[in-house]
A and B are shown apart, each in its own frame.
Chain A
Amino acid sequence: MSQWIAACEADDIDPEDVIPFEHDGNDYAIYRSPDDAYFATDGHCTHEKTLLCDGLVMGGVIECPKHNGRFDYTSGKALGAPVLVDVRTYPVKVMDDTVYIELP
């Protein structure tokens, strides 16, 4: 059963940035795009277990802080070596200034 979990307030994330979110012992990354759309992915890079929330967001791309692997955080797509495996994404919605993430 999937469920919508309140992750943060809309203003907790600067535009074009990312914050960490932990739920049930799992790490997630919540993104706010430059045009104020919200997205969510697994918290860790698929290359090694590095938290993506310490990485830089530029446009629709997050770069892993450790080895510079890049993902399109809107689709989860890995954008080339060293990351070869896409990062999992999760549906996100914003209601009354609260950001919700749909977790399985």
Chain B
Amino acid sequence: MPARASTAEAIVIAGAGAGGVRAAFTLREQGWDGRVVLVGTEPPYERPPLSKTGEYRLICGGAALSEAGITFLAGAEAAGVDTAAHVLELADGRRLPYRSLLLTTGARARRLPFGGAPVHVLRSYADSAALRARLAPGRRVAVIGGGFIGLELAASAAALGCRVTVIELGPRLMGRAVPARVAATMAGRHVAAGVDLRCGTGVTGLAGTGSGTEITLAEGTAIEADVVVAGVGAVPETMLACAAGIETGDGIVVDERFATSAPDVFAAGDCCRYPHPLYGGQPLRLESWRAAQEHGAAAARAMLGETEPYAGVPWFWSDQHDYTLQVAGLASAADREVVRVRPDGVEIWFGLSRDGRLVAAAAAGPGNSVAKDIKLAELLIARRAAPDPVTLADPAVTLKSVLRSPVAG
């Protein structure tokens, strides 16, 4: 059991997204009976639906928070950290002394480097509501960026009857985190749904016209749209840490216990850069719902004295049309690939390291048809298994039996 402290001591959490909320509850689950103060500019709500159905759904209501003895300072904005005095300063002048401070400040949507016409982005519910108010059957929607957010929005807009074009600078969709073969499956689904995919072309300018926005492409052509949305990545919210002299660099730099360079200050979720033990301590910044929660929980335990490093397998999903894509592990760590073609036609992609370890798996298919296999792959990745590539490719051998074979263990 973690050490208990006097009730006067507070653990303060700056940021009430998935990571911050999970951290707050984990502190209680782990037996911390001091104060827990959660600071958030907005009520804690789920972000995954924003690019899909647009539904507003709370992570938990005020009653659940107060029942757990979590003080939620709604509408409060963290403005500064006095790391020497152990105080979080709020924009309204309040000062919150802390025993430990967790920064779960998240990320913000990156914006295009030029103006010329209004461009939507998606991070908050307000962003989502503003965008959805403009989507209607027949509207021409241009999505700049063929990553997860852009593609989920493209699918949502297409489902609402919009005419959608996706413009991606890279040679293919989801180039950063998804293997080419799996991205191609998803691209096929988009094309079948009538989405116009333009890969390998950048945007060089935007201009308002009488009837909409003209988007000039690097190849020289232009397309016109009624609604323009950019899904060009996220920027970690590091200002608070930076201003306090805490080490940052594409995220708030943390160690394997989510501790920052300042004493008793931790960071978790989208805003942090974490040295992952499964990938040789390579610093990773993950923007995913599950990572935010797992980081939050692990940081909470670390604040209470846990010393075991967090080694959760990176995992994320994306819903586009009626397909779901899942990725476990780190596709970029793969040195060679193996594909299993299942009898139902779904392809499961496996990435192996140079020394034969399974380091990533990915697949896209209808509904949740890829979930079981990706989950089993995740378990193999977690155990640093080096399964036989021939077996991996053979759909007649279940991944469960691979997991249970002595070689994998």
Contact = CB atoms under 8 A, between A and B. Distances in A.
Contacts of A68: 290, 315, 375
Interface string B277-295: 0000000000001100100
A67 B372 CA distance: 12
Contacts, number: 35
B401 to A, nearest CB: 11
Given A16-B400, A51-B368, A63 B290 contact: no
Contact of B22 (A51, A63, A81): A81
Nearest to B375: A56
B375 A54 contact: no
B368 A65 contact: yes
Contacts of B22: 81
A82 B22 CA distance: 9
B290 A55 contact: no
Nearest to A52: B368
Interface of A: 16, 50-51, 54-56, 63, 65-68, 81-82
**8 closest A-B pairs (Cβ-Cβ)?**
A65-B371, A54-B368, A65-B368, A56-B375, A56-B372, A54-B371, A55-B371, A81-B22
Contacts of A16: 400
Nearest to A53: B368
Nearest to B379: A58
A63 B368 CA distance: 12
B371 A66 contact: yes
B367 interface: yes
Interface string B286-308: 00011001000100000000000
B368 A50 contact: yes
A6 B49 CA distance: 37
Contacts of B25: 81
A63 B400 contact: no
Of A16, A55, A63, A82, most B-chain CB atoms within 10 Å: A82
Q: Is the interface of A mostly helix, strand, loop or mixed?
A: loop
B371 A56 contact: yes
A55 B370 CA distance: 9
Interface of B: 22, 25, 289-290, 293, 297, 315, 317, 324, 367-369, 371-372, 375-376, 400
Contacts of A67: 289-290
A14 to B, nearest CB: 9
A55 B376 CA distance: 10
B375 A63 contact: yes
Given A16-B400, A82-B293, A66 B372 contact: no
A56 B376 CA distance: 8
A67 B267 CA distance: 23
A66 B293 contact: no
A66 B290 CA distance: 11
Task: Give the interface centre of A50, A67, A81 by most chain B CB atoms within 10 Å.
Answer: A81
A54 to B, nearest CB: 4
Centre residue among B290, B297, B400 by max chain A CB count within 10 A: B400
Contacts of A66: 317, 324, 368, 371
Given A16-B400, A66-B317, A81-B22, A54 B369 contact: yes
A85 to B, nearest CB: 12
A54 B290 CA distance: 19
A54 B368 CA distance: 6
Contacts of A54: 367-369, 371-372
Given A56-B371, A56-B372, 19 more contacts: A50-B368, A51-B368, A54-B367, A54-B368, A54-B369, A54-B371, A54-B372, A56-B375, A63-B375, A65-B368, A65-B371, A65-B375, A66-B317, A66-B324, A66-B368, A67-B289, A68-B315, A68-B375, A81-B297
A65 B372 contact: yes
Contacts of B369: 54
Of listed B297, B324, B372, B376, residue having the most chain A CB within 10 A: B372
Contacts of A82: 293
Contacts of B315: 68
A65 B289 CA distance: 14
B376 to A, nearest CB: 7
A96 B25 CA distance: 48
A46 B290 CA distance: 18
23 contacts: A51-B368, A54-B367, A54-B368, A54-B369, A54-B371, A54-B372, A55-B368, A55-B371, A56-B371, A56-B372, A56-B375, A56-B376, A63-B375, A65-B372, A66-B324, A67-B290, A68-B290, A68-B375, A81-B22, A81-B25, A81-B293, A81-B297, A82-B293
